[in-house]
Amino acid sequence: MLDRTTLETERLLLRLLTHADIKSIQDAASDRRVADTTISIPHPYPGGEAQRYVFKKIADFESGESVSFAIESKAEKAFCGVIEIRDIDREHLQGELSFWLAVQAWGKGYMSEALQPIIRFGFEDLELNRLYAYHMVRNPASGRVLQKNGLLPEGLLRQRVRRWGVFEDVKLWAILRTDWQSKAE
């Protein structure tokens, strides 16, 4: 299905999720601060949830529904988070960008650095036409990462998610293959 299953940046290694990532994911996703800034990570993070997640992501990769990468710092050889293209729609050639970082990786510019090769991967390797992403309005850092990487705001989804009993507004962003190609030139 894919030409590349490992991507590199100056400071990061992005590689397909494996069973070896289960403990790191369980530990990082268990931090309430991580769950607080994401739409879909529960808190408390149930025991065994990382195992279920990794098994599902491996199955989704095999069926062509998603591609999920562990983000590692090259210098520390440490797990930093997850970035993926999920809900791949082959009919309409689009997929959702989804990502999160462990707290110790925050504020280092890692996500912006990781997003660049993932976008390229989506357009070149997966041959998609559109990549989109969501973030909660109260998490503007994610919006800055998306904007910095060429995604454009497409709208506000009012009270789109409910987080710990509170309805949250969500912003939708997207980048088209033509946007990305013109930016790359």
1 pLDDT band (50/70/90 cuts)? very low
Query: Is the backbone peptide bond immediately before 44 cis, with ω within 30 degrees of 0?
Result: yes
Q: Parallel, antiparallel, or unpaired for β 6-8 and 12-16?
A: antiparallel
Tell me the CATH architecture of domain 6-184: 3-Layer(aba) Sandwich (3.40)
Count, residues in the chain: 185
The answer to whether the beta carbons of residues 147 and 101 sit under 8 Å apart is: no
Helix or strand holding residue 106 (H, E): none
- Tell me what percent of the residues of the chain surpass a pLDDT of 70: 98
Give this prediction's pTM: 0.94
- Tell me what percent of the residues of the chain surpass a pLDDT of 90: 92
